[in-house]
Structure 1
Amino acid sequence: MITEFTPLTSLFGGMMVGLAAVLLMALHGRILGATGIVGGLLRFDNASDWVFRAALLLGMLAAPSALLLLTGSVPAIDIPVSTPMIVLSGVVVGLGTFFGGGCTSGHGICGNARFSRRSITATITFMIGAFVSVFVIRHLIGA
């Protein structure tokens, strides 16, 4: 199986996410946890909080649109698994973020930067789960 190795693009993307997390914390006192932000859109009890979450989500969606406008194309995304497998993966990740009390952005970026023991434990668990999943899918199942 061929995998793409893009260290410079990955470094730049990581720096952008890190900068966004730092600016959100510095300017608004908020943690950049993507699943918590999106999940909060389902609650309508605080109008200003809902607008903040919607604006953040729209900003995340605007970046690919801006790239398309600037360059005329977007990077090709090749997903080498079936749609049911993508849906199943989404459900598993959703359950993990629910039971883990957050996602990789909240725990992995913001929590680890604050030396949160809970976030460090969650991130180690995410990584072990990822290693095991890749090993099983690539070497045991052979997909």
Structure 2
Amino acid sequence: METEFTPWASLAGGAMIGLAAVLLMLVAGRVMGATGILAGALIPASRADATWRWVMIAGMVSAPALYLVATGGWPEITVPVSTPMLLIGGFLVGVGVTFGGGCTSGHGVCGIARISTRSIAATAVFMVACFATVYVVRHVVGG
């Protein structure tokens, strides 16, 4: 398995995520944690709370269409694992989000920017788990 190194695309994506996080904090006073936004949209505290959450989700989901308009083609997406593996991975992410009190976007982007010790610790745990998972998948399992 080979991973393509894409520094410019990664930098652009990171900058856009950071900009979105800053704008959400500036406009709505809210932290941009993707799983928290989704959970709050599914079980909203109020109509106004649901509205901004669904607008954020629509923006996230519509990104490929914006890419199509900008480039004339759909983004190339390859998924090197089976559907059952995706479902298992999604379940494990959900468990991690629940026990970690948030997701990588909430802790890693917004929490660290606010110098939250809880978010710094959570992000360190995410990163160690990620490194270990990649090592096991590539060198132990042989994926």
TM-score (norm 1): 0.96
Deviation digits for residues 74-116 of structure 1, max 9, x if unmatched? 2211111111111100000111001101000000000000110
- Structure 2 SS opposite 1:115: coil
Gaps of 5+ in 1: none
Aligned length: 143
Q: How does 1:1-143 map to 2 (within 5 A)?
A: 1-143=1-143
Q: Distance in 2 between matches of 1:104 and 1:86?
A: 18
Q: Distance in 2 between matches of 1:105 and 1:68?
A: 25
Q: CA RMSD in A?
A: 1.0
Structure 1 outlier segments of 4+, above 2 Å: 69-72
State the percentage of identical aligned residues: 54
Q: CA deviation at 1:18?
A: 0.4
State which drifts further: 13-22 or 72-81: 72-81
Residue identity opposite 2:93 in structure 1: V
Q: Distance in 1 between matches of 2:67 and 2:77?
A: 14
